[in-house]
Structure 1
Amino acid sequence: MAEIVLGMWTTHGPTLSTTPEEWLLRLPADHARKDHPFRGKTYGFPALVELRKDENLGEKATLGERTRRHGACRAAVERMADAFEAARADVAVIFGNDQSELFLDDVIPALTVFNGPTIWNEPASEEQAKKMAPGIHAAEWGHNPPQRTEYPGHPELADRLIRQAMGDGFDVARSSRLPEHPGHWNSGIGHAFGFIYRQIMRDKVIPNVPLIANTFFPPNQPPARRMFEFGRSVGRAIRDWDSDARVAVFGSGGMSHFVIDEPFDRSIIDAIEARDSEMLCGIGEEWFQSGTSELKNWIAAAGCLFETDLSGGLVDYVPCYRSEAGTGTANGFVAWDRKG
C-alpha cells in the first residue's frame, strides 16, 4: 500500500519572495482599506493603530527587524526544502486555495481536485504585471517559473481521491486541464501550488495532485470542520491505494494576514502539535477571513496527517510586520516525517 512519508504545513506569501524593502509596497493598500478583518471585526488602518498601540508593532516593522525576519523565513524555507529532498517522495498531494487565478466569477467551486496529466505555469506578461496589485509582481519569481513549464500531474491518484470523496459525501468538482483566460492577470496554476514547486521542491517537481479550496470568497467557503473531514477522506484514499508510492502531503497557505494575530497563529500550531482536531474544527468562520482563510488548507492537511504515525514539529514561526497597525504576513513552517 502507499505510504505517507512526509507532512508539511507552509506559508507561501509575498514576504517570502520579496526584499524587506519591497514589503512596504503593500502599505498604500493597507492605509486605503477600510475593512481589515481582525478577531471577528473589521477596522480601518487608523483604528487598528489605536487598537494595537500597546503592542509596539512599529518597532517590529523597522527595516532592521524586517531584514532579520526575512532572513529567518528564508532559512526556514531552505530547511523545509532539505526535508522534502530527504524524504524521497514519489508523489505529492497539495492542499491549496485559489485567489481568482483559475476560477473567475462564472464558477467558483468550493472544492476541486485536479486530475489532469500535466500542470502548467508561466511568468506574467508585461500586460499582466500591470494588472497586479503593488508588491505582487515583485514576488512572482517565488511561485512562477522563468518560462512556460509543464509539471506532472497524477490522474490515477487524483481519480482515487475523487471517488473516495464522493463516497464520503463530498461533491467535489474535478478539473482535467487548467483554463486559459485571455486578458486575465494570471496564467497557469495558482501561487499556493507554484510556491511548493519552486521553493520546497526546488523546481524538481514530482507528480502531484492539486486540491483547490475556495477559502477566500463567500458565500461557499467550506468551514473548518468540512476541510478537516475532507483531509481525512484524502488520507483514507492514499492509505488504501494499492501502490508502493511514497507520498508527501502539503498544506499551503496562511498564516494570519493581512493583519497579523500571533496568539491565533500559535493556537493553530499548538493544535497541530497536539493533534487536537476539535480545536481546529471548532474555529468559527469569523476568524477565517481575507488571507487568514488560507489556514483552512493547514486544517485539511491536518485531517489527512493526524491519522498517520509521522511526527515532527515547528520549523519556525516568523510574524513579518510592515506597519504599526500590525499589517503584514505571519509565516509558519511545520514538518512531520518518519524521523520525528
Structure 2
Amino acid sequence: MAEIVLGMWTTHGPTLSTTPDEWLLRLPADHANKAHWYQTGRYDFATLVEMRKSEGLAEKSSLDERTKRNAACRAAMNEMADVYAATGSDVAVIFGNDQQELFNDALMPAFTVFNGEAVWNEPSSDEQAARHPPGIHAAEPGHKPPVYTEYPGHPELANYLIGDLVSNGFDITRASKLPRLENHWHSGIGHAFGFVYRQIMRDQVCPHVPIITNTFFPPNQPTARRCFEMGRTVGRALKAWKSDARIAIFGSGGMSHFVIDEAFDRKIFDALAARDAETLCAIGEDWLQSGTSELKNWIAAAGALFETDLAGEVVDYQPCYRSEAGTGTANGFVYWN
C-alpha cells in the first residue's frame, strides 16, 4: 500500500516573497478598508488602532522588526524545502484555495479536485499586472515561474480520490484543464499551489493532486468540520491506495490575516500538536473569514495526517505586521515526518 511519509503546513502570503519595504505597499489599502475582519467583527483602520493600542504594534511593525521577521521566515522556508527534498516523495496532495484566480462568480465550487495530466502557470502579462492591487505584483516571483511552465498532475490518483470522496458523501467538482479567462487579472494555477511549487519544492514538482477549496467566498464556504472530514477521507483513501508511492501532504494558506491575531494562531498550533480534531472542527465561520479562512486548508491537511504515525514540531511562527492596526500576515511553518 501507499505510505504517507511527510506532512507540511505552510503559509503562502505576499510577505514571504517581498522585501520588508515592499510590505508597506499595502498600507494605503489598509487605511481605505472600512471592514477589516478581526476575530469575529469588522472594523476600520482607526478603530483597530484604538482597540490594539496596548500591544506595541507600532514597534512590531517597524523596519527593524520587519527585517528580522522577514529573515526568520526565509530561514524557515529553507528548512521546509530542505526537508521536502530529503524526504524524496513520489507523489503529493496539496490542499489549497482559490482567490478568484481560476473561479469567479460564474462558477465557485466548494471542493474541486484537479485530475488533469498537467498543471500550468505563467508570469502575468503587462495588462494583468496593471490590474493587480498595490503590493501584489511584487510578490509574483514567489508563486509564478519566469516563463510558461507545466507541472505533472496525477490523473490516476486524482480519479481514485474523487471516486472515494463521492462514495463517502462528498460532492466534488473535477477539473482536468485550467481555464484561461478572458480579460482576467490572473492566469494559471492559484498562488496557494504555485507557492508550494516554487518555495517548498524549489520547482522540482513531483506528480501531484491539487485539491481546491472555496475558503474565501460566501455563501458556499465549507465549514471547518467539513474540511477536516474531507481531509480525513482523503487520508484514509491514500493509505488504502494500492501503490508503493511515498506521499507528501500539504496544507497551504493562513495564518491570521489580513489582521493578525497571535492568540488564534497559537490555538491552531496547539490543536495540531495535540491532534485535537474537535478544537479545529469547532471553529466557527465568523473566525474563518478573509485571509484567515485559508486555515481551512491546514484543517483539511490535519484531517489527512492525524491518523498517521508522523510527528513533528513548529519550525517557526512570525507575525509579520505592517501597521499599528495589526494589519499584515502571520506566517507559520510546520512539518511532520
Q: TM-score range by the shorter chain?
A: over 0.9
- State yes or no: 1:62 paired with 2:40: no
Q: Deviations over 1:198-247 (max 9, x none)?
A: 00000011001000000000000000000000001101111111000000
The runs of at least 4 consecutive aligned structure 1 residues that moved more than 6 Å come to none
Structure 1 segment 1-340 matched on structure 2, within 5 A: 1-337=1-337
Amino acid at match of 1:20: P
- Residues 106-150 of structure 1 show CA distances to partners (whole Å, capped at 9, x for unaligned) of 110000000000000000000000000000000000000000000
Q: Which runs of 5+ in 1 are unaligned?
A: none
- RMSD of aligned C-alpha atoms? 0.4
Q: Normalising by structure 2, report the TM-score.
A: 1.00
Deviation at 1:39, TM superposition (A): 1.3
Q: CA deviation at 1:168?
A: 0.8
CA distance in 2 between partners of 1:240 and 1:250 (Å): 19
Q: For residues 280-330 of structure 1, what are the alpha-carbon distances to aligned partners after superposition, in whole Å with 9 as ceiling and x for unaligned?
A: 000000000100000000000000000000011100000000000000000
Separation in 1, partners of 2:39, 2:206: 38
Q: What letter is aligned with 1:141?
A: P
Q: Supply the AA of the counterpart residue of 2:57.
A: L
CA–CA separation in structure 2 for the residues paired with 1:164 and 1:215: 22
Q: Secondary structure at the match of 1:72?
A: helix
What is the letter of the counterpart of residue 63 of structure 1? L
**Unmatched runs of 5 consecutive residues or more in structure 2:** none
The alignment partner of 1:325 has SS state of coil
Offset of residue 104 of structure 1: 1.3
In 2, Cα distance between equivalents of 1:35 and 1:148: 37
Task: Provide the aligned length of Structure 1 versus Structure 2.
Answer: 337
* Offset at residue 189 of structure 1 (A): 0.2
User: Identity of counterpart residues, as a percentage?
Assistant: 70
| Offset of residue 182 of structure 1 | 1.9
Distance 1:86 1:278 in 2: 33
CA distance in 1, matches of 2:117, 2:227: 25
The whole-number CA distance in structure 2 between the counterparts of 1:279 and 1:105 is 32
Q: Partner amino acid for 1:49?
A: V
d(CA) in 2 for partners of 1:68, 1:220: 39
Give the match's secondary structure for 1:15.
Answer: helix
